[in-house]
Amino acid sequence: MTRQNILDLYFMDARSKLIDIAAFLDRVDRGEGEPDFRLAAFRKALEELQRGEPVRARRVLLSLSDPTTEPIAKAPGKGAVGAWPGQEAH
């Protein structure tokens, strides 16, 4: 597909999601109290969007991922929250 085709197909959807992210960050700023590690992880992942190579999705996913390699001793629960809390959380 040409870049023009891609814009025709996906620009409005991407625009909508971009504004959703902006509104989400505004909402967090207006909130009270201290945010947990997820906000910092989210902001760090956003930096990956500025890179010039077409591997942004991969880099955003890696940015939010546990980078360690050894299995942990015990499950802290069953669920995942979407961002790695850091080594000290285990």
Partner 1 sequence: MRYIEPHGHMVSRTTDDYEAMITAGCRAVCEPAFWAGYDRSGPQGFYDYFCQLTDYEPKRAAKFGLPHFTWLCINPKESEDVQLAQEVIALIPQFLDRPNVLGIGEIGLNKNTRNELKVLEQHIDLAARHEQLILVHTPHLEDKFKGTRLILDALLADSRIKPDRCIIDHVEEHTIQMVLDAGFWAGITLYPESKTTPPRAIDMFEVYGGQRVWLNSACDWGRSDPLAVPKTAIEMRRRGHSEETIDRLVFQNPIRFLGQNPRFDVR
Binding site for partner 1 (CB under 8 A): 1, 5, 9-10, 13, 55, 57-58, 61-62, 64-69, 71-84
CB contact set of 41 (below 8 Å; sequence gap of 6+): 63, 64, 83, 84
State the Cα–Cα distance between residues 38 and 87, nearest whole angstrom: 14
Whichever of 10 and 26 has its CB closer to partner 1, that residue is 10
Contact 60, 41 (CB under 8 A): no
Minimum distance of partner 1 from residue 2's CB (angstroms): 10
Q: How far is the CB of 35 from partner 1 (least distance, A)?
A: 17
* Nearer Cβ to partner 1 (52/67): 67
